[in-house]
């Protein structure tokens, strides 16, 4: 019998959330990091699984990585962290497309409804984990005053995974050999990771038997979903919400 039911969204400290992510909130609030912990975070569908997979291979036993994915409030996590935080962001258009498909396949996400309503709700921050705009912007602003924050972009990882791994190593003070780096770079490519059933979550009961978690892994798939009218409306709304011109996303590479 299927006991997992789709949750409702509710306001949780000003952010839309579902009970699956707030039920044990006191554990997150009381979290105490170990000296070698790194926190990784992202808005949903920005490549957090990819990043954690890369870090896992890079760090071996040297560093522990608590996956406090998508902590809506940075202040909760920061105080006890000594090593730092890695944040990965992805452009809004590909994020909403990926999120839409994910919500269809995941039983622990609210019912997505049709694409045009979903897009509108995303623009209003009425999806789980709230506003994409507040999330990426909040962390971007935090980065200006918090040097232990490494802010990455999904598009950069796609463009040159090796270069982004170098930057990660620099941030974490790691110095893998050239062969090791080459091996890691090859093993985290989309087609290789897609074959890994654990990453692809193909056996997890919270998913419907729909397209896999490793869906497309592309920059620019939004073009296959947005109509011209939706795109214009989205761009106009985007300009109002992302006023900080130093935060730039690429919607194609
Ligand atoms: P798509 O749905 O666009 O394919 P998260 O882990 O934060 O939920 O992000 C999931 C997104 O990252 C999915 O995007 C997934 O395919 C993509 N992804 C995961 N591993 C990847 C890889 N090795 N290369 C490119 N994209 C990857």
If one counts every other C-beta atom within 10 angstroms of the C-beta of residue 82, the result is 11
Is the Cβ–Cβ distance between 157 and 188 less than 8 Å? Answer: no
For residue 65, what pLDDT is reported? 64
Tens digits of per-residue pLDDT, 94-145? 999 999 999 988 888 999 999 999 999 999 999 999 999 999 999 999 898 8
What are the residues whose beta carbons fall under 8 Å from the beta carbon of 181, sequence distance 6 or more?
162, 165, 166, 169
Q: Which residue has the higher pLDDT, 31 or 129?
A: 129
Q: Give the residue carrying structure tokens 């623009």.
A: 123
What are the residues whose beta carbons fall under 8 Å from the beta carbon of 128, sequence distance 6 or more?
9, 16, 17, 18, 21, 44, 109, 110
> For the whole prediction, is pTM greater than 0.85?
yes
pLDDT band at 25 (very low <50, low <70, confident <90, very high): confident
The DSSP bridge pattern shows strands 10-12 and 15-17 to be: antiparallel
Q: Give the residue carrying structure tokens 């106009």.
A: 236
Cα 238 to ligand 1 centroid, rounded to whole Å: 23
pLDDT band at 203 (very low <50, low <70, confident <90, very high): low
Find the mean pLDDT for residues 178-183: 96
> What are the chain's domains?
10-241 (3.40.50.300)
Number of H helices, E strands in the chain: 12, 5
Whole-angstrom distance, CA of residue 164 vs CA of residue 168: 6
- Ligand 1 pocket mutation pick from 40, 41, 49 by most atoms within 8 angstroms of CB: 49
Cα 1 to ligand 1 centroid, rounded to whole Å: 30
Whole-angstrom distance, CA of residue 90 vs CA of residue 223: 15
């Amino acid at each position: 019998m299927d006991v997992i039911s789709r949750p409702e969204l509710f306001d949780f400290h000003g952010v839309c959330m579902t009970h699956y992510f707030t039920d044990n909130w006191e554990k997150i609030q009381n979290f105490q990091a170990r000296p070698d912990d790194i926190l990784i975070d992202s808005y949903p569908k920005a490549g957090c699984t990819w990043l954690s997979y890369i870090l896992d291979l890079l760090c071996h036993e040297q560093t522990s990585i608590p996956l406090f994915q998508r902590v809506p409030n940075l202040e909760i996590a920061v105080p006890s962290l000594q090593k730092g935080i890695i944040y990965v962001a992805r452009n809004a258009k590909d994020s909403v497309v990926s999120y839409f498909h994910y919500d269809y396949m995941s039983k622990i996400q609210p019912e997505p409804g049709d694409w045009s309503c979903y897009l509108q709700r995303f623009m209003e921050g009425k999806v789980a984990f709230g506003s994409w705009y507040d999330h990426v912007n909040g962390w971007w602003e935090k980065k200006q005053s918090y040097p232990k924050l490494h802010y990455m972009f999904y598009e950069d990882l796609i463009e040159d995974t090796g270069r982004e791994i170098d930057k990660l190593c620099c941030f974490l003070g790691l110095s893998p050999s050239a062969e090791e780096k080459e091996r890691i770079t090859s093993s985290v490519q989309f087609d290789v990771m897609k074959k890994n059933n654990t990453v692809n979550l193909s056996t997890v009961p919270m998913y419907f038997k729909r397209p896999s978690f490793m869906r497309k892994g592309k920059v620019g798939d939004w073009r296959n979903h947005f109509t011209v009218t939706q795109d214009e409306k989205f761009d106009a709304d985007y300009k109002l919400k992302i006023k900080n011109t130093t935060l730039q996303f690429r919607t194609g590479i």
